[in-house]
Structure 1
Amino acid sequence: MYAGIASALLTLSAGACGPSATSSLPEDDEGRPAPRAGFSVRYELPAAPDRANAAFLRGHRVMEQGATDVNEFVRAGAVAVVGRSCGGEGSAYDPEARRIEICYDDVAQERELFEGAGVRPADVEVAAVLAETFFHEAGHAFVDLLGLELDDRAEEDAADQFAALMLIRRGAAGERQLRVAAREYELSAAAGDAGTAGQEAGVRDEHSSHLVRASNHLCYLYGADPTRNTDLVGTKLLSRERASRCGEEWRGMRDAWQKRLASVAAASD
């Protein structure tokens, strides 16, 4: 099992972009029985202001593709992935319910951020940020499933690393998504938002700063594939000095998650 996970971590496969955002509105899937293991996806009916956002999320299959990617690693205790209207609370992982909530209203928030920076249309960017958000929350789920004793900041950093790992694993397409996620953090920092888009206001101080998170994502990108990402070096977010250590940083965090996931796999056999 460990060897299989290690192979999966080192195999880069490009992800599909998904269908158009003009998909029909999601039905309420709450009554659908959840599998006993792995990540499963369902949608709640959106509040009226979120109908277009809900259609976007389902149309781009962000949660379905993310759940498939995670389930290719390991099937542990069941984790529900729910699209829903959150009223501005932000996407999050609920450890008591073992549920990831991806918020329809995050779509509008991310679109506003990128369109404010002159990106129109911003569909690709919004989908990329939501993919990173999904994997970040999945990282929290694995911390929970593993029973890891991490303080708040360490857990947030580990979740960011898991998100970077999963996107890099998608190959060139995932690397582009991770670049967009780093850009989102940079834009949020420029906008003076003290927290992280897609996170609940009450827990924002648990995260590293926006610029640190952006820099870390770019460092992992460069460390994983210096040839394809050489343009990142010498920028304001990735100095040449740090870039020289990014290969080691990438391998360290990849191997740490590899061992953690192997532990979950062994427990589920």
Structure 2
Amino acid sequence: MTLRAIRTTTALCTALLLTAPLASCQQPSPGRGFIPRHEEPAPADREIATLLDRHHITETVTTDLNTYLDLPHRIEVATRSCAGEGSGYDPDTRRIELCYDDLTEDRRLFEQAGDTPADEPVTAVARETLYHEAGHALIDTLGLPTPDDRAEEDAADRFAQLMLLRDGRPDGEQTLLTAARAYDLAAAAHPEPDPEDEHAPDPVRAESHRCATYGAAPAHHPTLATPPRAPCPHTWTTTRTTWLQHLAPVLRS
């Protein structure tokens, strides 16, 4: 972990303890846990890199993960320019990569839809993406069975939902709904799904996030109440219960 990341993480932990005195803010040892790392962006990605840095997105997410989970080894969480490779998790190196260029595209779509400036939705998408990739890392770490790539992607989406909706977090609800809108915008811009993409189609992922948000707190979201979403409270309970069972070996008490 860089000195800047250590200082930022310490500050975030202090802020968490001040706002929630009973919380336990755990910082991992250098050899374990989710460790943030920032790489120099390509010139076209500097604006996005500055935005993430200003809002401490990677540090906030890794602090949250390390407060919740006690991993047996190190998982690096890097932000970098990927030249179109796409954000992802590499099980061989145990490394999550959040790609600046993906977020540059998200910014363009939000701004075309009238969100100017698009700082808030872009940072929300970054948070959701990091939790999704952390889900992949945990599937790998815990050796969780997934029958195919699509099932793993769906499970990673559900882990992001768990992290953002646990404890009734209003900011988490908004993050998921913003990510759902990002999937809507991507689907409108690229209506033909990529046959090589292991993820669910963007409209399906958008609806999954809305279903989880509604299912976790129906009274908070009357505008999301539709007949097709009647099963969503049960779906959310299943998501939460299943992931908590999987996470039992690494959950902090």
Using structure 1 for the length normalisation, give the TM-score. Answer: 0.78
Mind listing any 5+ residue stretches in structure 2 that lack a counterpart? 1-14, 17-28
1:203, CA displacement in angstroms?
Answer: 5.1
1:44, CA displacement in angstroms?
Answer: 1.1
| Structure 1 counterpart SS, 2:220 | coil
Counterpart position of 2:34: 39
Structural mapping, 1:224-243, within 5 Å: 224-234=216-226, 240=227, 242-243=228-229
8 Å contact 1:73–1:261 — kept in the other structure?
A: no
2:236 to 222, 239, 250: 250
Q: Distance in 1 between the 2:40 and 2:191 partners?
A: 29
2:114 to 118, 124, 127: 118
Counterpart position of 1:160: 157
Structure 1, residues 37-61: CA drift from partner, whole Å, max 9, x if none? 1101011111222222211111121
Q: Distance in 2 between the 1:161 and 1:87 partners?
A: 28
Counterpart position of 1:106: 102
Structure 1, residues 12-60: CA drift from partner, whole Å, max 9, x if none? xxx99xxxxxxxxxxxxxxxxx821110101111122222221111112
Counterpart position of 2:47: 52
1:149, CA displacement in angstroms?
Answer: 2.4
Structure 1, residues 229-261: CA drift from partner, whole Å, max 9, x if none? 111123xxxxx1x32211110010101110111
Q: Distance in 1 between the 2:31 and 2:41 partners?
A: 26
2:177 to 169, 176, 179: 179
8 Å contact 2:144–2:246 — kept in the other structure?
A: no
The percent identity for this pair of structures is 47
Residues 67 and 228 (structure 1 numbering): CA distance in 2 closer, same or farther, change over 3 Å?
same
Using structure 2 for the length normalisation, give the TM-score. Answer: 0.83
1:193, CA displacement in angstroms?
Answer: 4.9
Q: Distance in 1 between the 2:95 and 2:124 partners?
A: 21
1:194, CA displacement in angstroms?
Answer: 4.4
**Superposition RMSD in Å:** 2.1
Mind listing any 5+ residue stretches in structure 1 that lack a counterpart? 1-14, 17-33, 196-200, 235-239
8 Å contact 1:145–1:264 — kept in the other structure?
A: no
8 Å contact 1:57–1:104 — kept in the other structure?
A: no
Q: Which has the higher contact order (CA 8 A, sep 6+)?
A: 1
